[in-house]
Amino acid sequence: MMKIKVDSYVRGITRTACYHLSGIIAYNLAQTGKDELIIFKDKIMFRKGFFGAIVYHYQGNLFYNNGIIDYVGVMPPTEPDNQMVFEELYRTCGI
């Protein structure tokens, strides 16, 4: 089970953005070997060790507006890349 923390600026993430983020989150969790992440309005931070972290900055396909992170890319995903991560992410902060 992942430990997802959400910054106070983020009120929610749309379903399509959760689809998009599921693969990114799964990949970076595998890289860090940890199960903890923090979602900010402009990035996701994956704890790597006691002092280290991997930071994924949203680019082009994701947009933060008024507390909501939404997918704005040309080809919106219709299903998650990683179903388990999607379900946990959507349950925690999906709208």
pLDDT tens digits, one per residue of 10-37: 999 999 999 999 999 999 999 998 889 9
Q: From CA 21, how far away is CA 54, in angstroms rounded?
A: 15
Tell me the Ramachandran region of residue 39: left when phi exceeds 0, alpha when psi lies from -120 to 50, beta otherwise: beta
pLDDT tens digits, one per residue of 44-67: 999 887 778 999 999 889 999 999
Total-model pTM: 0.92
Which ranges constitute the DSSP H helices of 1-95?
A: 15-32, 83-93
- Structural domains counted in the chain: 1
SS3 category, 79: coil
Q: Which domain holds residue 89?
A: 3-93
